[in-house]
Structure 1
Amino acid sequence: MLSQTREQLRLCSQCPHGWLSPLGQLGEEAQQTLARARQTVLFAPGTPIVRAGEPVTQLYCIASGTAKAVLSVGDDGEELLVALHKPGDLLGLRDLFGERRHSVSVIALEELRACLFPAELVERFAREHLSFWVRVVQLLAREIEAIEEQFLLFQRRSVRERVIHFLLLLFRTYGADEEGSLRFPATPSSIAELLRTSISAVRRTLSVLERRNLIRCADNRIRLLDPEALSQLLRNT
């Protein structure tokens, strides 16, 4: 029971991913208040964490697992990939200080554990702690920039450009292991699903990149051999 109590009262700054979240940069007293209000929830793969249109009553900080943020476009309900999320990401922050309704749906890509915090508590801390508010504004600016980049990706680029951009996005978001393989388990089918394109088109692009010695595909893992050359190829297309 003692270890459970310690876990329940752990501060955000003591979380392995706490340095990624603005909550982990609050003072100790504010973090203790958050710890007492925090709930932890597990989401199975494919489960919505939040749905577009729902009111923002809680914020979700990802403790483990990955997720995708999607926006329904058109009358057929086609989903546009808006962002990928990793541990340390705080979901709902942008909409809390906007329309107070979730603008996108966020879906777990694998088993995901999230810490839930009352939205009104986070909003109060933003009013009371200037350094926290500055950090929030910085995160919001980066998030808006990333969303604009995603819209540009889907509206103006070819399948090859989208695949290259997506591989670089995975690299920037989740990183690579000691052998250079993406930590995100990307396969042709999962990439095709996320980019809303055909598996054959994705496979053709991956084959071209392999022949250019830019990537290696093996055992359902993709290894980026030269991320900078891949970025340069994208800039030149």
Structure 2
Amino acid sequence: MNCGTCKEISCDNIFKDVPTEELMRISRSKVSNRYQKGQNVNVQGNPVFGAYCICSGKLKLSTTCPETGKETIFRICGPGDIIGFRALFAGELLQATITALEPSEVCFFSREEIQRILTRHPEVLLQVARKFGKMLGNAEKTIASLTQQSVKQRYALLLVSLHNSHGDSVENKINLKLTREEVASLIGTTSETVTRLTTEFKKDRLIDIRNKFYFILNKSKLASLSEGGMTVESTPPGFFSARTLEFFQ
């Protein structure tokens, strides 16, 4: 994929204001790789040598408890998202494992290339600051959600948020396959509770599940159910973890 013609960069990517000719030069320096579902892009604890830009597909950022093996998902990323900036700027090791949720194409930009881009195009820093600001706001909402909302409200909010970020407005379908365990990790509960609430939501005609995809049947009722001191908006998935800001890698 050529950065100069990438539609994800032209939309809401931090490189969106970089001139096309510069994007063409950047494109020649990147490394593009394809990953299958379940394949790791990078692993928690590794040194950070650059940043990743998702061209297509979806990735999750997660950690696994060494004692229990329990996975905690901190963020779900889609096309146009950048992963690695926070750890790169902070000079830290990678704080989460990056795994493909579906076949994905990911571009890697080296530390040296990113530093060159930021030096020549300070407007990119403004976009990075804007992204960090959104992540901070989402982290604050997370704390409110985990302390003030019931699991049922958090599940409803997750579904509305995922539909806003990864939804198909024609079919009302969430274009993302998540297991019960992954959903449970995102909202801080057990897979058994997710199963019970899913059955309840289906009975109330709020959602349907076909071929492992969620279909939103009544978004307004889900949004109303999710309200509990929080405003439902197009919030990037993953804000349910209280450490979301830390994992703007």
TM-score, normalising length from structure 1? 0.81
Aligned to 2:90, the other structure's residue is in SS state coil
Distance 1:220 1:51 in 2: 27
Does the aligned pair in 2 maintain the 1:43–1:112 contact within 8 Å? yes
Cα distance in 2, alignment partners of residues 114 and 30 from structure 1 = 20
Percent identity over paired residues: 22
Aligned counterparts, 1:151-166, within 5 A: 153=145, 157-166=149-158
Q: Does 2:211 align with 1:211?
A: no
Deviates most, 196-205 or 35-44: 196-205
Establish whether residue 132 from structure 1 lines up as the match of residue 120 from structure 2: no
Matched, 1:176 2:168: yes
CA distance in 1, matches of 2:228, 2:144: 16
Task: Give the alignment partner of residue 113 of structure 1, picking from 105, 109, 118.
Answer: 105
Question: Which among 41, 46, 53 is matched to residue 54 of structure 1?
Answer: 46
Shift of 1:72: 4.3
3-state SS of 1:55 partner? coil
Q: Could you say which residue in structure 2 is the equivalent of 1:26?
A: 18
Shift of 1:75: 4.8
CA distance in 2, matches of 1:36, 1:198: 45
Q: How many residues get paired? A: 228
Work out the CA distance in 1 between the residues paired with 2:16 and 2:209: 37
Higher helix share: 1
- Pick 1 or 2: higher relative contact order, CA cutoff 8 A, min separation 6: 2
Instruction: Measure how far apart 1:77 and its partner are.
Output: 4.9
Query: Structure 1 regions of 5+ residues with no counterpart?
Result: 1-6
Residue of structure 2 equivalent to 1:78: 70
**Separation in structure 1 between the aligned mates of residue 84 and residue 196 of structure 2, nearest angstrom:** 37
Paired amino acid for 1:131: E
Pick the structure with greater CA Rg: 1
Q: Deviations over 1:180-236 (max 9, x none)?
A: 111113454653465575443222212222333322333433221232331221224
Q: Is this contact kept in 1: 2:207–2:215, CA < 8 A? A: yes
The match for 2:83 among 71, 77, 91 is 91
Structure 2 residue runs without a partner (length 5+): 230-249
Of residues 87-96 and 210-219 in structure 1, the stretch that sits farther from structure 2 once superposed is: 210-219
CA RMSD of aligned residues (A): 2.7
Look up the match of 1:15.
6
Secondary structure, aligned partner of 1:223: strand
Q: Which AA in structure 2 matches 1:32?
A: M
Q: Provide the C-alpha distance between the structure 1 equivalents of 2:67 and 2:35, rounded to a whole number of angstroms.
A: 28
Q: CA deviation at 1:155?
A: 6.6
| Distance in 2 separating the partners of 1:235 and 1:195 | 15
TM-score (norm 2): 0.78
Q: Determine whether 1:232 maps to 2:224.
A: yes
CA contact (8 A) 1:215 1:225 kept: yes
**What is aligned with 2:243?**
none
* AA aligned opposite 2:6: C
Q: 1:112: how far off?
A: 1.3
Letter in 2 for 1:162: R
Q: Which is worse superposed, 227-236 or 140-149?
A: 140-149
* CA distance 1:142–1:73, change in 2 (3 Å): farther
Q: Is the 8 A contact 1:40 1:113 kept in 2?
A: yes
Counterpart residue identity of residue 209, structure 2: C
Cα deviations across residues 162-192 of structure 1 (Å, max 9, x unaligned)? 3223212321221224121111134546534
Q: Does structure 1 residue 221 correspond to structure 2 residue 213?
A: yes
CA shift digits 1:111-155 (9 cap, x unpaired): 211111112211232233221110111012223333454566567
